[in-house]
Amino acid sequence: MNKYIIAILLVPVLAMQYGCNKNLEPKVYSSLTNTNAFQTKSDAIAAVNAVYARLKGPVVGDNFTYWTVRHFALTDLTTDVGHCNYGGDPGQLSLGLWNSTNGLLGQDWQYIYKLIANANNAIYNIAGMKTISDAEQKQFISELKFLRSIAYLDLTDAFGPVILVTEKDVPNASFTSQPKPTPVADIEALLIADLNEAAGVLPLNYQNNAIYPGNDVGRATRGAALTLLAKLYLRRHDWQQVVALTQQVMDLKIYDLYPDYPGLFAESNKWCVENIFSVLADANTNGTELLNHFGPLNNPTPALLNRWQYYAVSWDFYNTFDMADDRRKCFYPYYKGVDDLVYSQAPSPGATPPAGVSYMADVATKKYADSLGSTTYYDGHSVDILRYADVLLSRAEAINEISGPSAECIGLINQVKGRSHAKPLNLADYDQTSLRDAILKERGWEFFYEGKRRADLIRMGKYDVIVNAYLNRIGQPSNIVMPKNRYFPYPQSQVNLNPNLDNSDR
């Protein structure tokens, strides 16, 4: 056979081979990557909503984590305000005694980080989306950064230096790394940047909002970002910034004090002029277990039946309220129980009750236990993380720290007192030190069980003095030691995973 004929025959044969091999290996492409998983605006909103939900946990079948109960174990039970008559982890915290195995410390850490992890994931994915508008992208990311800032502020209040993870860690997440805790100042730098960014993007409110229809109250706003930033500067003792930021919040002219203190916490009062940022709940759709934990024991009122009085207030604190102060009305100090016993305060510690009487170890607050509220297991009470009274008292504190008592400073405090018909302060009676003490007292009366007490005591340098004095009054030793108790120990379960979490000095 002629070599030319062979060549002519080989061409189509090779072509056929090439063609057939091409058929054998189709082009395969996959979009199942781990990035850009969010496709639609609904994906983005669902992710943002999931991060809001983390403020309440949620734990399936166990709806009382983070801001809807358990966080109060760290912020209020460990102070002169909160009391828990149950043993175990909350009882330990209530007596100023704890260690790294306390379950409530571990749970708060865990659920705060769940929020942070979800926020990081959502920020990362939303930042890569091309299917939403620039305005939507900025809005969603600002909400997420605000929520993450709350989480890091709470986390650093409790534990100081913690592991900083952000959206930058999402693509190459390492679940076995053992990083060192990030200094608080570095975390604060991130929060300052994030909150400034959020304050520049978020709307004043959600009326006629193009992204969220139906006046979707409860979402983060400009006022909320500014207020949280003011709170952060307050912790840093950066008083000038607090004065400037609280002025900005006041200048928004959309907030005021709700006229009635007990009414502010009524279950039906979901959102009012005083709310800046709150965790909202609806008993029908996303209820909480605040009422179970805070409601009085054996109280016959339908809404209060079968509640637990788990998180209560010490009688020692209750007795500090002036009789005229409306805030004193926010408790259940005396009632006839379902067992016909009269529930009341003991006349003296350890007194034996006469027949027909039960002396309560502590007093339940109405703040999350509205007697006219839900009669069911889950309730719809809100938790106010940021409200306008805090703006006023934070500003008063900053002014006092800068220049001592002034008419403006006293006026701000008296505005808050006045709403509750409490006895006003007289400027002439105070110097800087005594006014600082008065503000600390005022903050206790105003914000008990709002997650602020421990941070307030620490910020003002009075955590050991005031809590030990309280503990001594109830027959306990001075269990608070500073600076050891400035931060809680890192949860043991976390230390086991990451030995860089060092508990030697806490």
Stretch that binds another protein, among 32-40, 226-234, 241-249, 315-323 (CB under 8 A): 32-40
Q: Does 26 bind another protein (CB under 8 A)?
A: yes
Per the CB < 8 A criterion, the answer to whether 258 and 273 are in contact is yes
Q: Which is nearer to another protein, 37 or 190 (CB)?
A: 37
Q: Which is nearer to another protein, 21 or 352 (CB)?
A: 21
Q: Which is nearer to another protein, 20 or 323 (CB)?
A: 20
Q: Does 92 bind another protein (CB under 8 A)?
A: no
At closest approach, how far in Å is the CB of 101 from another protein?
A: 24
Using CB under 8 A, pick the residue from 118, 288, 301, 468 that binds another protein.
118
Using CB under 8 A, pick the residue from 180, 256, 377, 418 that binds another protein.
377
Q: Does 372 bind another protein (CB under 8 A)?
A: no
At closest approach, how far in Å is the CB of 120 from another protein?
A: 10
Q: Which is nearer to another protein, 1 or 355 (CB)?
A: 1
Using CB under 8 A, pick the residue from 205, 375, 415, 479 that binds another protein.
375
Question: Interface mask (CB under 8 A) for another protein, residues 423-462, using x and -?
Answer: ----------------------------------------
Which amino acid appears at position 262 of this protein? P
Handedness of CA 122, 128, 132, 136 (dihedral sign): positive
Of 298-327, binders to another protein (CB under 8 A) are 305
User: HEC profile for 462-476?
Assistant: CHHHHHHHHHHHCCC
Contacts of 367 (CB under 8 A, 6+ apart): 265, 294, 330, 448, 449, 450
Using CB under 8 A, pick the residue from 4, 28, 174, 251 that binds another protein.
28
State how far the alpha carbon of 100 is from the alpha carbons of 258, 489, 493, 500, in Å. 40, 5, 8, 14
Stretch that binds another protein, among 176-184, 209-217, 258-266, 354-362 (CB under 8 A): 209-217
Which of 256, 245, 277, 228 has the alpha carbon at shortest distance from 416?
A: 256
Beta bridge partners of 359: 344
Contacts of 21 (CB under 8 A, 6+ apart): none
Q: Does 31 bind another protein (CB under 8 A)?
A: yes
At closest approach, how far in Å is the CB of 373 from another protein?
A: 13
Specify the DSSP class assigned to residue 306: T
Distance CA 118, CA 280 (A): 19
Contacts of 496 (CB under 8 A, 6+ apart): none
Q: Which is nearer to another protein, 41 or 235 (CB)?
A: 41
Q: Does 378 bind another protein (CB under 8 A)?
A: yes
Q: Does 37 bind another protein (CB under 8 A)?
A: yes
Size of the site for another protein (CB under 8 A): 57
Q: Does 133 bind another protein (CB under 8 A)?
A: no
Distance CA 422, CA 40 (A): 52
Q: Which is nearer to another protein, 179 or 302 (CB)?
A: 302
Which of 253, 261, 205, 279 has the alpha carbon at shortest distance from 389?
A: 261
Using CB under 8 A, pick the residue from 122, 126, 360, 369 that binds another protein.
122
How much is the CA Rg of the chain, to the nearest whole Å? 28
* Strands 275-279 vs 342-344: parallel, antiparallel or unpaired: unpaired
Using CB under 8 A, pick the residue from 61, 347, 350, 499 that binds another protein.
61
Distance CA 480, CA 470 (A): 11
| Beta strands per DSSP E along 272-422 | 275-279, 312-313, 331-332, 335-336, 342-344, 357-359, 364-365, 383-387
Using CB under 8 A, pick the residue from 85, 95, 192, 216 that binds another protein.
216
User: HEC profile for 124-158?
Assistant: HHHHCCCCCCHHHHHHHHHHHHHHHHHHHHHHHHH
Q: Does 286 bind another protein (CB under 8 A)?
A: yes
Stretch that binds another protein, among 8-16, 100-108, 434-442, 457-465 (CB under 8 A): 8-16
Q: Which is nearer to another protein, 128 or 259 (CB)?
A: 128
At closest approach, how far in Å is the CB of 61 from another protein?
A: 3
DSSP per-residue letters across 426-454: -GGG--HHHHHHHHHHHHHHHHTTTT-HH
Contacts of 61 (CB under 8 A, 6+ apart): none
At closest approach, how far in Å is the CB of 145 from another protein?
A: 16
At closest approach, how far in Å is the CB of 28 from another protein?
A: 5
Question: Interface mask (CB under 8 A) for another protein, residues 39-58, using x and -?
Answer: xxxxx-xxx-xx--x----x
Beta bridge partners of 386: 277
Place of tokens 């979009």: 31
Q: Does 16 bind another protein (CB under 8 A)?
A: yes
Using CB under 8 A, pick the residue from 283, 399, 457, 458 that binds another protein.
283
How many other β-carbons are positioned within 10 Å of the β-carbon of residue 438?
18
Provide the binding-site residues for another protein, judged by CB under 8 A.
1, 5-6, 9-10, 12-13, 16-17, 20-21, 23-24, 26-32, 34, 37-43, 45-47, 49-50, 53, 58-63, 118, 121-122, 213-216, 283-287, 305, 375-378
